[in-house]
Amino acid sequence: MPTFYVFNPGMCDPSEWEYEKQECEARSVSDAASIMAALWDEDGDDGRRFDVVVATNVLSGHCSITVEYVVDKEKPYKVEAQPKGEE
């Protein structure tokens, strides 16, 4: 069975990928996600949802993400990006 690398972004910050990912042997990506979600579900309640990140290799790197905000109020809002090099 192939090994997948699984991460719970609800419990850890994406910058912690290198140390917090967990190996999971499974038949497919979806099987790996299901197995790990079942392990993380402490309450065992039916119908709970988890965000799960599954990778086929262990490499880590940098990812740029663009976020678009829609504000539905009359006050002015300013969204600023974090300066480069700071986490």
What is the CB neighbour count within 10 angstroms for residue 6? 22
* pLDDT bucket at 86, cuts 50 / 70 / 90: low
**What is the 3-state composition of the chain as percent helix, strand, coil, each rounded to the nearest 5?**
20, 15, 65
Residues forming beta bridges with residue 22, ordered by sequence position: 6
What pTM did the predictor assign? 0.61
Confidence of residue 24 (pLDDT cuts 50, 70, 90): very high
Q: Six-digit token pair at 29?
A: 């990506």
Enter the DSSP assignment of 32.
H
Rg of the chain over CA atoms, in angstroms? 17
* Per-residue pLDDT, 13: 86
